Amino acid sequence: MQVAQYFISYTLAFWIDISLLNASNYSQWKVDMKVLLIDRNCSEFVESEKVEEPPDAAEKQRFKWHKERAYTRIYRGVERQFLPLIWNTLDGRTAWRILQTNFEPKPRARLARLIDEFYELKFDENEEIIRIFCRRVQEQKHLINEAGFEMPECLVCFQLIRKLPVEYNLVQLLYRLEGKQFNIY
């Protein structure tokens, strides 16, 4: 009984659930797929320029299996309508590059999307505490900064204040703060 419970919990701990790649989730899919490939010891076949094949026959078989597994994991992680993009290859690295070329957002489009997402952030009083909302705003600001745009502190503060529910009306006093006092720290 105890062995079965251990096996089940051990198995569940290594189960990685990722969404299939579609037209709108490439950024998250890419991270999830990298984690899956790392978990399956296949990441080197998509990240490295060239992976040296081992000289030993037994190791060659294992090498081939891991290389094929990298491709099959990527293939199985893509929605059916996008599979024709990678049908012409059986190489994980090539498939990865093809998907990257077709799905990775262009810098300006990505920045526009990130800024839209920043201004759409709302505090959900039924689901979260204020600290979580503040953290989500901070994370979105960080993503915008990584994309090459320095989000002014005052805009971050306005975003934090403007989407709060009625019970936080006292926070409106923060609008009266002067320059350097009006920041998120």
Q: Once rounded to an integer, what is the mean pLDDT over residues 61-75?
A: 91
Greater pLDDT, 152 or 172: 152
Burial class (CB in 10 A: 0-12, 13-18, 19+), 130: middle
Residues 159/183, Cβ–Cβ less than 8 Å:
no
Q: Is the pLDDT of residue 76 over 70?
A: yes
Residue 162 has pLDDT above 60, yes or no: yes
pLDDT range class, residue 5, cuts 50, 70, 90: very low
Provide the token pair at 120: 């759409």
For the cut 90, the answer to whether the pLDDT of residue 28 exceeds it is: no
By residue count, the chain amounts to: 185
Mean pLDDT to the nearest integer, 147-173: 78
CA dist., res. 160 & res. 74, Å (int): 39
Distance CA 130, CA 184 (A): 13
| Predicted confidence (pLDDT) at residue 185 exceeds the cutoff of 80 | no
Over 60: is that where the pLDDT of 99 sits? Answer: yes
pTM across the whole model: 0.54
For the chain, report the end-to-end CA distance as a whole number of angstroms.
52
- pLDDT of 85 reads 94
Check pLDDT > 60 for residue 139: yes
Of the two residues 87 and 7, the one the predictor is more confident about is 87
Sequence-ordered list of residues with C-beta below 8 angstroms from that of 100, at least 6 positions apart, any chain: 30
**Looking at residues 12-39, what average pLDDT do you find?**
80
Neighbours of 78 (CB within 10 A): 20
Q: How far apart are CA 24 and CA 185, in angstroms?
A: 33
